[in-house]
Structure 1
Amino acid sequence: MTKPSSNPQPASESQKPDQTDHDEHTPHHQNLRADQEADSPEDQQELAELGTLLSKDDLSDEEQQALTQLLQRHKSDVAVAISRRTTSAFQGPLPPPSILSGYEAIVPGSAAKIIDWADSEREHRHRTETTIVRAETTRDLRGQLLAATVALAGFSVAAFALYLDHAGVAAMITAMDIGGMVAAFIYGRRSAED
């Protein structure tokens, strides 16, 4: 903190009544007039010094009292500083109306652009999801048709082998054909569950 003058002088009649000298034990803050400007250099310096001491947890009783008086003198400044330390968050493509109106105030027409952008994003997402679902459906249908063709071909070969009196070959082909279908069915169920 700034130290006051160490040579106290008696008040002369030429001095103004609100100007007083002080000794070393009188803190500097007591000489500040109540009608001083909120951001006077003296207040700023004293706040900075007290803030430094406050961060070190070294405030004496007099310094704590000085800080309290400074903060009381500048209540509106402190309230503004505290109220500006708010945060807000939102989830989704569109900001809340208060933020959207802030964009509109800064750049006229931006609110409409943001809403149009969100709408086009929604349409794009829906088109993409529709395309993905159609592609998966087509892939599944092709797989089923191919599996049915292979199964019919296997049964046809087994029937032809049976016609030629090769019952063992026909049974083996039929078993592999049915086993393949069962394995594909079970594997398909497990893949869908995962």
Structure 2
Amino acid sequence: MGKPPASNPKSAPLPEIQEEIEQEITKRIGSVVSGPQRKQVVAQMIGLVAEERFSGPIAHPRHLREYESILPGSADRIISMAESNLQHNHDMQRMALDGDIKDTRDGRLYGFLALALLIVGAILSAYLGHEKLAIAFLGAGALGTVGAIIRGRKGGD
């Protein structure tokens, strides 16, 4: 989109303004350039003035008119295609953002559950008389929790 069919980035100016541009350039360069080079310089200047750049989600309005004159209804189809493409991009960004939020929420939930299980394991181990196993459960939970707190948001959350 944004490009005319079979276009050349450097195009001649529209015929109705080419003569006006040529007269203005000739007037401005005055006697600075004379002889056979004058015509060549004027032609180069017209080429420079006529160069056109366009960027956007749809074709340049002049190109849309040309598409429409070749195939009636095509300009509306091009604009509709750009609108649906924009909507698709918005939908994809929304899905990606929702996925990131869900991943973060699920990660925190599973982390909390893992910590709770470690604490329950430590309490149960201590109750059954396995103090070293209880210390190991609490140590693993504490190290994981402290590590997550230290990393904070820098850890990718």
Tell me the TM-score range normalised by the shorter chain.
0.5 to 0.7
Please point out which of 99, 102, 115 is paired with 2:66: 102
Instruction: Give distance in 2, aligned partners of 1:167 and 1:191.
Output: 33
Relative contact order higher in (CA < 8 Å, ≥ 6 apart): 2
Q: CA deviation at 1:116?
A: 0.4
Instruction: Give distance in 2, aligned partners of 1:125 and 1:138.
Output: 20
Instruction: Give distance in 1, aligned partners of 2:138 and 2:94.
Output: 40
Please point out which of 111, 123, 146 is paired with 1:147: 111
Q: CA deviation at 1:157?
A: 0.7
Question: For each residue in 1:19-78, what CA deviation from the matched residue of structure 2 results, as whole angstroms up to 9, or x when unmatched?
Answer: xxxxxxxxxxxxxxxxxxxxxxxxxxxxxxxxxxxxxxxxxxxxx84x369x4xxxxxx6
> Any stretches of 5+ residues in structure 2 without a counterpart?
1-33
Instruction: Give distance in 1, aligned partners of 2:94 and 2:72.
Output: 35
Q: CA deviation at 1:132?
A: 1.2
Q: CA deviation at 1:145?
A: 2.0
Instruction: Give distance in 1, aligned partners of 2:132 and 2:156.
Output: 36
Q: Name the structure where helix makes up a greater proportion of residues.
A: 2
Scaled by the length of structure 2, the TM-score of the pair is: 0.62
Q: Which residue number in structure 1 is paired with residue 53 of structure 2? A: 89
Question: Which residue identity is paired with 2:63?
Answer: I
RMSD of aligned alpha carbons: 2.8
**1:129 lines up with 2:129 in the alignment:** no
Identity of aligned residues (%): 27
> Any stretches of 5+ residues in structure 1 without a counterpart?
1-63, 72-77
Between the two proteins, the alignment pairs up a number of residues equal to 121
Question: Which residue identity is paired with 2:108?
Answer: Q
Q: CA deviation at 1:165?
A: 3.4
